[in-house]
Structures are given as structure tokens and as C-alpha cells.
């Protein structure tokens, strides 16, 4: 039977995150496949997800509809019913390819929660002669088994892995360390097969320097086969709601403290500021 799955959006835009760390596709034109459903938002670590989540409509695993852009970067959408079949998806993707397209981003929600579907899309893209690099953006909490990992290695060129700061509310207080250890294991797994991986952490005024110390130290022990470090993109939280902004926006001083502490363990070329550039430009 033809594989099908749950998406929330398919569109073309610029990758706005990742800064300048190795593996980042910041500023590149991508087609985004946004998957529906997020394990973190569905209480895997005891909470309803990150308080700053900018894709709350993509948290539901059984989302009824998805939307796709009619023309590349037009922000003009058609709504259709989930689940979507691979052949329908390939048709939509073909219509969004432009001559400046760099790569295809698999994001969410959490794409790893529909891993079979995710891999099937990767395989079908190649079969249909759509050979752009594939970029996986994940909360890094759903680990692949050995067979799945081998397929990811074959299909994916880049992987952006979240590390959730304690202040993200992605986990209950007593489950946060478990969550981060899982993410570190995921990152270790990806680098072990040489998928070009970097980590992204969203920081707030409530971020603790001792947590950054622990995370950066752990990351410094994860190396590629050639001994190179992986990158850490540090992203100040972006909030629109006035009250939340007041409470969680990070000061210049705190941001610098975070950088100094990260640089205690990681080379400066592997640390970068990341901003959600697309938000400042009113892009998707
Ligand atoms: S892990 Fe991602 S999709 Fe899930 S709640 Fe957090 S920000 Fe939202």
C-alpha cells in the first residue's frame, strides 16, 4: 500500500535559523515539509510542549488538513485533507521547485515521529529525480534503530537538533535532564554516521549558566570521525506577546555570558548566534 502521513504545511521560503555553524543552511532557499504531531507537546516529558512553540497548529498527530503553497514563496495556500499520499506530495513539491532552491527541510511538529513516512518521502524524491540535499530539523528525542539510522545516513545531508533549555518547558523539572540526555544521544548517533549535524538551543532570561556549562561540556565530547566538534547555534527566544516578551526576553549581558560559557568548551567557529530571520521579514 502506498505510504501516507500527516503534514501541516508545504511551502517555499528561506531558512531563517542556524547562524553560521557548520551544517547550518541559514539564508538558503528551501522547500519546507512541516510534519504534524509532536511527542514533546503530547506530554512525553510531562508538559504540553515548549512555551515559545511557533507551530502550535502542528502539534496534533491526526491533524485533519494540511495546506500547500499554490506557487513558490507566494504565501497563497490551498487546503487539503490529511493523510497525504506520497505521489500527491511529489506533485506539490515539483510545483515549488525554483532555480535558487538549495535543499528540502523536514520540520514539524516532529518529523521523527513519522519516521517510516519520512524515509519513504526521501526515497521517493530520489526515485522521481528530485535530488536536492535533505535537511532534518528535529527535537532529537525520537531515536532511530540501526536500520533506520542507515537509511537516514543515505538520505539526509544535514541535521539540526534541538537541545531544550530547562526554561523551554519542554519537560517537567524532574524530567529535563532525561530529555537532554536523550537529545545528546541522538546527536551522538547522527555524528557517528557523519550526517552534518549541529545543535540549536533557544535561550531566555531564565536560562541558567550552569545548564549551559553542562550542555556545552557534553557537546564538546561529541566529535565527528575526523575529530571535529559539532556546532552550537544559540538562539534568543522570539516572542510576540507583550507579557511573555517582558518575562522571557534575554538581555545582552546574559546572552554574552552564555557565549562565554559555551566557548569554554567549544571552539568559537563552532558557536553562533541564531535568529529567526524569517520572522523579522514577515516570511514563513
Ligand atoms: S518540540 Fe518543537 S513542535 Fe514540539 S512543542 Fe517544542 S517547539 Fe513545538
CB neighbourhood size of 227 (10 A) = 6
Reported as a single tens digit per residue, the pLDDT across 47-100 is 999 999 999 999 999 999 999 999 999 999 999 999 999 999 999 999 999 999
Nearest Cα neighbor of 250 from 177, 201, 213 is 201
CA distance 78 to 64: 14
Q: Determine the Cα–Cα distance for residues 87 and 128; give it in Å rounded to an integer.
A: 10
Q: Which ligand 1 atom lies nearest to the CA of residue 48?
A: 5
Q: Residue 239 C-alpha to ligand 1 middle, in angstroms?
A: 14
**Domains of the chain with CATH codes:** 4-201 (3.20.20.70)
Residue whose CA is closest, atom 5 of ligand 1?
49
Peptide linkage before 109 cis (omega within 30 of 0): yes
Region label for 153, one of left (φ > 0), alpha (ψ between -120 and 50) or beta (otherwise): alpha
**How does pLDDT run across 254-266, given as a tens digit for each residue?**
999 999 999 999 9
Residue with CA nearest ligand 1 atom 7: 53
Task: Identify the residues whose C-beta falls under 6 Å from ligand 1.
Answer: 38, 40-41, 49-50, 53, 55, 59, 108-110, 139, 170
Atom of ligand 1 nearest to the CA of 49: 5
pLDDT for the residue numbered 273: 97
Q: How far is the CA of 133 from the centre of ligand 1 (A)?
A: 24
**Nearest residue by C-alpha to atom 6 in ligand 1:** 50
Give the nearest ligand 1 atom to 141 CA: 1
CA of residue 5 to ligand 1 center, whole Å: 19
Which strand (E) or helix (H) includes residue 178?
Answer: helix 176-192
Calculate how far, in angstroms, residue 21's C-alpha sits from the geometric centre of ligand 1. 22
Mutate to test the pocket of ligand 1, among 139, 140, 166, 183 (most ligand atoms within 8 A of CB): 139
Chain segment 73-83, per-residue pLDDT in tens: 999 999 999 99
What pLDDT score was predicted for residue 1?
64
Amino acid at each position: 500500500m502506498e505510504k501516507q502521513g500527516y503534514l501541516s504545511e508545504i511551502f517555499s521560503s528561506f531558512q531563517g535559523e542556524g547562524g553560521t555553524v557548520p551544517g547550518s543552511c541559514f539564508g538558503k532557499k528551501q522547500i519546507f515539509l512541516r510534519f504534524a504531531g509532536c511527542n514533546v507537546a503530547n506530554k512525553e516529558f510531562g508538559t504540553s510542549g515548549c512555551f515559545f512553540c511557533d507551530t502550535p497548529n502542528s502539534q496534533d498527530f491526526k491533524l485533519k488538513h494540511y495546506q500547500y503553497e499554490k506557487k513558490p514563496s507566494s504565501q497563497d495556500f490551498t487546503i487539503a485533507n490529511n493523510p497525504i499520499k506520497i505521489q500527491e506530495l511529489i506533485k506539490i513539491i515539483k510545483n515549488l521547485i525554483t532555480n535558487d532552491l538549495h535543499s528540502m527541510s523536514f520540520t514539524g511538529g516532529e518529523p521523527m515521529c513519522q519516521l517510516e513516512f519520512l524515509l519513504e518521502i526521501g526515497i521517493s524524491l530520489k526515485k522521481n529525480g528530485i535530488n536536492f540535499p535533505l535537511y532534518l530539523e528535529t527535537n532529537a528525542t525520537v531515536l532511530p534503530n540501526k536500520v533506520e539510522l542507515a537509511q537516514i545516513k543515505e538520505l539526509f545531508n544535514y541535521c539540526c537538533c534541538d537541545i531544550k533549555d530547562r526554561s523551554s518547558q519542554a519537560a517537567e523539572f524532574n524530567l529535563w535532564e532525561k530529555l537532554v540526555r536523550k537529545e545528546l544521544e541522538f546527536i551522538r548517533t547522527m555524528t557517528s554516521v557523519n550526517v552534518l549535524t549541529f545543535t540549536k538551543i533557544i535561550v531566555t532570561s531564565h536560562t541558567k549558566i550552569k545548564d549551559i556549562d553542562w550542555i556545552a561540556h557534553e557537546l564538546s565530547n561529541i566529535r565527528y570521525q575526523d575529530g571535529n566538534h559539532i556546532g552550537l547555534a544559540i538562539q534568543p527566544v522570539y516572542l510576540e506577546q507583550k507579557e511573555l516578551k517582558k518575562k522571557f526576553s534575554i538581555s545582552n549581558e546574559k546572552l554574552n555570558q552564555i557565549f562565554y560559557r559555551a566557548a569554554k568548551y567549544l571552539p568559537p567557529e563552532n558557536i553562533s548566534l541564531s535568529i529567526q530571520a524569517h520572522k523579522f521579514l514577515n516570511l514563513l
